[in-house]
Amino acid sequence: MSSLSATIQEIFNEPGCAKNANKSDAERKKGCTKQLQPGGAAGGCAFDGAKIALQPFTDVAHLVHGPIACEGNSWDNRGAASSGASIWRTGFTTDMNETDIVFGGEKRLYKAIKEIINKYNPPAIFVYQTCVPAMIGDDINAVCKAASQKLGKPVIPVNSPGFVGPKNLGNKLAGEALLEHVIGTQEPDYTTPYDINLIGEYNLSGELWQVKPLLDELGIRILSCISGDGKYREVASSHRARAAMMVCSKAMINVARKMEERYGIRFFEGSFYGIQDSSDSLRQIARLLVERGAPSELIEHTEVVIAREEARAWAAIEPYKPRFAGKRALLITGGVKSWSVVAALQEAGLELVGTSVKKSTKEDKERIKQLMGQDAHMIENMTPREIYTMLKNAKADIMLSGGKSQFVALKATMPWLDINQERCHAYMGYVGMVKLVEEIDRALFNPMWEQLRRPVPWDEVAKNRQKAIAQMDAQAAAVAADPETTRRAKKVCFCKEVDLGTIEDAIRSHGLTSVEAVRQHTNAFGGCCKRRIEDILAKMPASSPLAMLQAAE
């Protein structure tokens, strides 16, 4: 049994990975990804990757050896589907406590394995190593070996403490565990010349079942799917397959390549996303099987099926094309989806404004260039803020990504579609492609967007009202600023609140000369204001009402 660090070095040396093979020795030692940045990193750890890769084995008990965080925070979070067994959905963990940290958790682990076998009796148990037990030196390999011997069940150690690296490395560590402890340990009941393995296919939302009927029709048997809807016995006897398809980019390339090396199972990298890709994959499978001795009619049969399915799918997509004309999509995903989905979207008539290539390999990028042309907008590293601004300014009409970045689009009130692991629709194969187009259409043309993007009307109402008030205030201020008006507004008779202007007008228009007369023509009281009215009369030039009228005319 090799040590963890030796295994990791071996993964970094993976000759099947062109990117790694091109690096210098020193660089290769550093591994696949750049050093993670504290305070700027996102994404899962190696344990996460290992668990994701293996959990879709449905009849296996997945036991996480570690404190509650690793399983308690994460179980029951994947939408893989099972055609039968359901034990994979049960969360098992040793839930290590302080005492275990001090005295070691190996005994608890052994007991936990025993309990699971007594209570649930699964065909096998996968034991995942996490950071804390790795630090205190729990030897899960030894415990698993002892448990296997004593309890008579395969107990598989998956050595994947989170701190050794990112999710992607974890996928490969999971693959190593399968290679070392599982694959080739059992024999299938029977074999056919049409047996294939699917590697890196997780049957999310039951996607695999959209493709399986086509394979069934061609007589092709999925001997083992690693790991969607998988069974322990299938993967243990998967070494008898004739060919293999590596579905999800390079996540499990070590499994595909080492199976080729050990058992002569030729493999190719393919995808079932998009019409062309589905057809290509079916062709490749048929070709590889024929090369390994399957009757050559298989190729013709395959072409017949492809022709029929393509025609159906194109017909189903046709009505959407005019609706999608001029609509631009932004694709934020990784790995193989960065190009396989590009192809799918272009088939539906969407324009691609960009695709992220953060997790893509060199070949992935080449393919993108082929599909999108030389000026392909490949996004290496875009911050959420940049994506938000891009969407807010309507540089794209829809974003397709994984669940964690959905709010960047939604909060910019732009349509978003989940194409990652938590999605609830299956987009694989010809049927899935049509479904994807339907969903994009549904997202793009939801009448809700128009309502949500409208400005709030009461903001406008309030603004107008404020404007009106300001205008009135301004008028009042202008009035106040005129000295004549101010002079005339001066109160003369305080009891009756009669101002100077009123009194002057009365004097002028009626030619008044006495306080008494003023009293008769206005509301002035003539008590305390008697002196003030007298003053006004004295200052006013004597004028006749006639003259005033003439002047007015």
Contact set for another protein, span 156-195 (CB under 8 A):
161-166
Question: Which range, of 132-140, 201-209, 361-369, 519-527, touches another protein by CB under 8 A?
Answer: 132-140
Question: Between 424 and 551, whose beta carbon lies closer to another protein?
Answer: 424
Question: Between 41 and 461, whose beta carbon lies closer to another protein?
Answer: 41
Give 439-502 as a DSSP string.
HHHHHHT-THHHHHHSPPHHHHHHHHHHHHHHHHHHHHHHHHH-HHHHHHTSEEETTTTEEHHH
Residues 415-454 that bind another protein (CB under 8 A): 422
Beta carbon of residue 505, minimum distance to another protein (angstroms, whole number): 52
Residues 460-519 that bind another protein (CB under 8 A): none
Rounded to whole angstroms, the Cα distance separating 49 from 227 reads 13
Planar angle of CA 380, 386, 388, nearest 5 degrees = 125
* Site membership for another protein, residue 389 (CB under 8 A): yes
* Site membership for another protein, residue 94 (CB under 8 A): yes
Element (H, E) at 141: helix 140-151
Binding mask 12-31 for another protein (x = CB under 8 A): --------------------
Question: Between 385 and 531, whose beta carbon lies closer to another protein?
Answer: 385
* Count of residues interacting with another protein (CB under 8 A): 72
Rounded to whole angstroms, the Cα distance separating 145 from 131 reads 20
Question: Which range, of 113-121, 315-323, 356-364, 536-544, touches another protein by CB under 8 A?
Answer: 113-121
Rounded to whole angstroms, the Cα distance separating 121 from 139 reads 24
Residue with tokens 């004309």: 325
* Site membership for another protein, residue 412 (CB under 8 A): yes
Torsion of CA 135, 139, 140, 144, to 10 degrees: -170
Question: Between 456 and 477, whose beta carbon lies closer to another protein?
Answer: 456
* Site membership for another protein, residue 72 (CB under 8 A): yes
Token code pair at residue 33: 């990804």
SS3 category, 129: strand
* Site membership for another protein, residue 201 (CB under 8 A): no
Rounded to whole angstroms, the Cα distance separating 323 from 447 reads 15
> Site for another protein (CB under 8 A): which residue of 13, 75, 420, 548?
75
Beta carbon of residue 178, minimum distance to another protein (angstroms, whole number): 21
> Site for another protein (CB under 8 A): which residue of 92, 126, 427, 430?
92
Binding mask 356-385 for another protein (x = CB under 8 A): ----------------------------xx
Strand 491-493 and strand 498-499: pairing? antiparallel
Residue 440 in contact with residue 348, Cβ under 8 Å?
A: yes
Binding mask 35-64 for another protein (x = CB under 8 A): xxxxxxxxxxxxxx--------------x-
